Amino acid sequence: MPLLSNHIAVVTGAGSGIGRAIAGGYAREGARVVVLDINQQAAATTAKEIRDAGGKAESFALDVTRRDDCIAMAKQVADKVGPVSILCNNAGIARRNGMLGAAEAVINDWEDIIAINLNGVFNVTHAFLGALRASKGRIVNIGSIQSFVHLRTPSSPAYTASKHGVLGFTKALAAELGKDGVRVNAIGPGFIETPLNEKVRAANPDLVKVFIDHTPLGRPGKPEDIVGPAIFLASDMSAYVSGSIVMVDGGYRTI
Ligand code: NAP
């Protein structure tokens, strides 16, 4: 019996990388998947891949920074697809500039990263909250190693702040929504090979080596490595798990 039969799962940023893999995994476990991405074409491609593999999916364009659009999307999904019971807040961006660059760039990084990685998680969650409470749903937020620490490899304070925020939001929601039967957890990926870090990997193999040398499992992660934990947290297998973060980082944080 598939683990997510009779569920409708929304995945943001699902046109690429980790979100695309999670959307595919949820569909393989029987969920009907709502693929959302700022890039309409990318979202449509993920949904088509799912349907071609025999799964159920529809796609819509959504910029998670646009609060009113998130509210309108929740209504549209309720009307056109049905009651959502799983939300995976995955959409995110990363930039690797520190605090000491040109002021304009530092400020732009802060505003863009917080808008997408943190405010976006709030916007989508708030929009789907009614549906998730009604369905005793599950929320899976994508955090990071940077939900706990900053990295010595170049990274922006905004990214670290946003991912600490995602973990804090996860705990706060878990505490408040538990009595409604809604479970809220996070996943903390390590270094996962996706388009997000494609340029860095190509331009700076030394940076990748620093990461891998620090990773007990000795390899970078693949988007598919995140799928099992994402299914676990969305399914009844994790019925008594809430407010937790599952690290999927090859053991990075152990050393
Ligand atoms: P990715 O391949 O770049 O995928 C992210 C997707 O989100 C892209 O399709 C992107 O569209 C979309 N997106 C960007 N801004 C958006 C917005 N405002 N509204 C809706 N969608 C938006 O990145 P990924 O590596 O899979 O990252 C997914 C999540 O994992 C992020 O939250 C990231 O912080 C987190 N994470 C990744 C790693 C890693 O090593 N890859 C590690 C830890 C955590 P465009 O491509 O058009 O911008």
Q: Is residue 3 part of a domain?
A: no
Q: Is residue 1 part of a domain?
A: no
* 239 CA → ligand 1 middle, Å: 27
Q: Is residue 96 part of a domain?
A: yes
Q: Which SS3 state, helix, strand or coil, does residue 206 take? A: helix
Ligand 1 contact via 61 beta carbon (within 6 Å): no
User: Which residues, 6 or more positions from 31, have their beta carbon under 8 angstroms from its beta carbon?
Assistant: 4, 5, 7, 8, 9, 56, 86, 234
CATH of the domain at 176: 3.40.50.720
* 14 CA → ligand 1 middle, Å: 8
Per residue of the chain (255 residues), what is the pLDDT tens digit?
Answer: 899 999 999 999 999 999 999 999 999 999 999 999 999 999 999 999 999 999 999 999 999 999 999 999 999 999 999 999 999 999 999 998 999 999 999 999 999 999 999 999 999 999 999 999 999 999 999 999 999 999 988 889 999 999 999 999 999 999 999 999 999 999 999 999 999 999 999 999 999 999 999 999 999 999 999 999 999 999 999 999 999 999 999 999 999
- pLDDT score for 59: 98
Structural domain range at position 223: 8-254
Question: Measured between alpha carbons, how far is 29 from 170 in angstroms, rounded to an integer?
Answer: 24
Ligand 1 contact via 91 beta carbon (within 6 Å): yes
Pocket test for ligand 1, best of 194, 246, 252, 253 (most atoms within 8 A of CB): 194
Q: Is residue 230 part of a domain?
A: yes
pTM of model > 0.95: yes
The number of the ligand 1 atom at minimal distance from the alpha carbon of 89 is: 32
| Strand ranges across the sheet with 138-142 | 56-61, 32-37, 8-11, 86-89, 138-142, 183-189, 245-248
Q: Is residue 220 part of a domain?
A: yes
Per-chain mean pLDDT for the chain:
97
* 170 CA → ligand 1 middle, Å: 18
Ligand 1 contact via 15 beta carbon (within 6 Å): yes
- pLDDT score for 153: 85
- pLDDT score for 199: 93
Q: Is 240 assigned a catalytic role?
A: no
Q: Is residue 229 part of a domain?
A: yes
Pocket test for ligand 1, best of 38, 96, 111, 200 (most atoms within 8 A of CB): 38
Give 136-178 pLDDT, tens digit per residue: 999 999 999 999 999 988 889 999 999 999 999 999 999 999 9
User: Which residues, 6 or more positions from 75, have their beta carbon under 8 angstroms from its beta carbon?
Assistant: none
Report in angstroms the alpha-carbon separations of 246 from 138, 188, 207.
15, 6, 24
Q: Is residue 2 part of a domain?
A: no
- In one letter, which amino acid is 84? V
Q: How far is residue 44 CA from its own chain's centroid? A: 18
Q: Is residue 144 part of a domain?
A: yes
Ligand 1 contact via 17 beta carbon (within 6 Å): yes
Question: Measured between alpha carbons, how far is 117 from 183 in angstroms, rounded to an integer?
Answer: 20
Closest by alpha carbon to 185, among 115, 85, 88, 84? 88
Ligand 1 contact via 135 beta carbon (within 6 Å): no
Ligand 1 contact via 197 beta carbon (within 6 Å): yes
- pLDDT score for 3: 98
Ligand 1 contact via 242 beta carbon (within 6 Å): no
* 195 CA → ligand 1 middle, Å: 8
Half-sphere exposure of 162 (CA within 13 A, CB side): 29
Q: Please give the tally of structural domains in the chain.
A: 1
* 193 CA → ligand 1 middle, Å: 12
